[in-house]
Structure 1
């Protein structure tokens, strides 16, 4: 680690640029999968369970990909970049086919494929920052990643609305996903692949310092045994940060799976119509369904657009943090505490907004939390683990991301039915409370001491 050179802003930017495509995939999935599910006939309280594909694939894929990338060396592509490329190709194919799903269960199956593919690309990206940057630049590196993620979130969340403004239809026959969503996913597929290629082409990786030892460890390793050993003996700091991550990602999974039904209903007054409640053979009934469906699709577009503001806000916060982190040492624990608190208040405010436009402010506060969630925990963690096992540790750490999503996927629907009369807005109130609990749990996390990097100010 002592031999690592400080990188310039543009070197770090190119190294992280593939996250633009990864976030296009995640933002389209997060903003519009529930809309696709509802269009194909899913009930509101069934949405979280349909989303279970995403965390389950992450639970299985992330530690395995992290372990394999630690033990990979390709003479041309290096250690992490083979996984970037494979994941990008598979993700782009899944994004192209997803909105063309003919039935609900095909769409749910495609979500499994899409999320597994995104994870193949995403997991090694976190490790790449720790591989290439010295400790004092890691906060800076993760913040630049977050800046790019914010750009991707905002643009991708607005894609269906933008495509609709260009004249592409926003409505379709019952059970058919509108063309505006199909084209948005196709654009996302192209951006995913191209942005990953930018990182693959511009970012070289250094071979292991001791290749003979590297080959010996690769031959002697046992995937299941080694992962289980590291899980049992994870550093205390890693576990404590993981508890904070649990409540953070419980909040965001609830938002991704339930924001569309919650806000189209509670704020816009335009819930998804049930085709079974209309007799399509009667002209007046068919017309009523068409009107209700048009209102829902328009409201869903605007929900996606307003959700984009959390990406825009996170981009602004990341930009400010990147300027600060380039010159000074960041108190990561304090930044994370303030950010999660503001995000929790943003979620809670959604229940009380007097008009849809006020959702901009709510999501802007959520974006502050999102910017911190994508950078500060990883910066806190990177100093606490063995750099030779950075990939597998990042994969294991992400178990604290996927386990809360599995909990939400299985329990959120029954909770809404049993305690909140199936009112989907309650899911966003749970998100707010969860972020506030996560902020409180930071009291058990240590703030590592880091030296200041005098060269970083000149890195721009």
Structure 2
């Protein structure tokens, strides 16, 4: 029997190299999040049509991440390795999309490029989560995901301010013909270059452990136990499939009955589609097909380890709060702090600009907290209690919006939100990487991110209808909802038992 040895301990330089590519990926996401509505409107989109155009982002992530995770678990391309081929492919496609996006002359071209860009960013991003688990020993997982989170925060800040830097440098911020201004064009081109170079740095400076090395580390390898969830799938009946389909039908009927936003139909389609795909996967498993992608992904989803199911609940409520914040901070700050709902007024635009600085603040705080506070707390009290602390900090930050009317004081609110953001990006993944079978780390990380996408779809579709029904014209209540969902997430986290930590 081969002697089991530990993975080598990575230095800080090694941790830097492993996650630096995420800095570039996050620049791409930040440019997308901050500027795509501006691009769409510049090309003639009505504001009411923006949600439909933005559906590309969550839907693409929902489809791409489990598939890429499944494939990357089963890939080995010689010296290029298992995860790095996907980093590189996604970076090339994302960089091309960022270069082409500001050259769009018609709305349909920009919409298609958004789909390509988001798919490409997800192709690169998903394997990075598993890559940290691949490369690091368990006692370094917290530090590894903390460094990755720091790069996420730094990349978000950089991507958000590139257009403003261009404006400060004298680049035109308004296009004479009403199209996409040069400040946005140059920002996308700079961001595309930075994204590609950052990912290339990780590809060139890291070397993945080969299958034989991983076996020597005692890690479960490809083929070892991979068919167990599929065999379990073969024993299942079709009742749950019917429940998913009926749930989709009920949601579809509810859209019409309660005059909900039309985007809610997407949720109905996704529920019914999962029911249909589950039925197909069960049928294939019963026929002995245990190697197909569909049966593997559905089997792994239905057979998730218990700790992953509990963390999924935490993730669902955590990301619900984040999406509420991203959508509603601007109307809340402009209306309640700056006293204006008129988008053409100086007060409104001053408030909207201040929101950019608030977002930069929480991302900056997250980068610092990820490298300092979180590793310290995790070592002292464990990952689970650290995450509970982070979520409650975020809840206090959101709740404070209900009382604060001084824009400068909102910076204090963002400190709590930044700590929560850092914890949400680091702690669940550090817990999972230490608790899941290595051979399925990619697909499980991809499936775990479903619980990021579903809250986004719910918030984007249902939250608007709730506010119109109960709090018309009062967006401040969205922050109360956000605070409440983080409290629920913290309570759900108390049910998560991390191996090796006291309850």
Shorter chain as denominator, the TM-score bin is: 0.7 to 0.9
Task: Report the secondary structure of 2:212's partner residue.
Answer: coil
Deviation of 1:320 (Å): 0.7
CA shift, 1:244, in A, is: 0.5
- Find 1:363's aligned residue among 404, 408, 414: 414
- Whole-Å separation in 1 of the counterparts to 2:84 and 2:367: 25
- Taking the aligned partners of 2:351 and 2:472, their CA distance within structure 1 comes to 22
- Equivalent residue number for residue 65 of structure 2: 62
Which stretch has the larger CA shift, 144-153 or 166-175?
166-175
Query: Deviations for 1:231-275, whole angstroms, at most 9, x for unmatched residues?
Result: 1111111011010100111122223334344434443456574xx
1:137 aligns to what? 140
Kept after mapping to 1: 8 A contact 2:143/2:371: no
Quick check: 1:15 aligned with 2:67?
Answer: no
Are 2:95 and 1:92 equivalent residues in the alignment?
A: yes
CA deviation digits over 1:17-55, x for unaligned, max 9? 001011112222333444445556666676555432211
Tell me, in whole angstroms, the C-alpha distance in 2 between the residues paired with 1:228 and 1:17.
32
Aligned to 1:250: 320
Where structure 2 has 5 or more consecutive residues not aligned to the other structure, the ranges are: 216-220, 228-288
Distance 1:187 1:299, change over 3 A: farther
Structure 1: unaligned runs, 5 residues or longer: 274-291, 452-460
Rate the CA distance shift 1:26–1:423 in 2: closer, same or farther, 3 A: farther
Q: Does 1:224 align with 2:294?
A: yes
Aligned-pair RMSD on alpha carbons?
3.0
Deviation at 1:319, TM superposition (A): 1.7
Alignment of 1:389-408 (within 5 A): 389-408=440-459
Q: Within the alignment, does 1:304 sit opposite 2:374 as a pair?
A: no
TM-score of the superposition, structure 1-length normalised?
Answer: 0.84
2:329 corresponds to 1:259: yes
| Deviates most, 176-185 or 149-158 | 176-185
Q: Distance between the aligned counterparts of 1:179 and 1:296, measured in 2? A: 24
- Aligned-pair CA distance for 1:307: 0.6
Deviation readout 1:32-87 (Å, 9 max, x if unpaired) = 44444555666667655543221111110000000000011111311000100111
Using CA pairs under 8 Å that are at least 6 residues apart, name the structure with larger relative contact order, 1 or 2.
1
Change (3 A) 1:187 1:358: farther
1:381 correspondence with 2:384: no
Distance 1:69 1:190 in 2: 25
SS of the counterpart of 1:250?
A: helix
Question: Is contact 1:49-1:409 (8 Å) kept?
Answer: no
Residue aligned with 1:421, SS: coil
Q: How many residues align?
A: 432
Aligned to 2:257: none
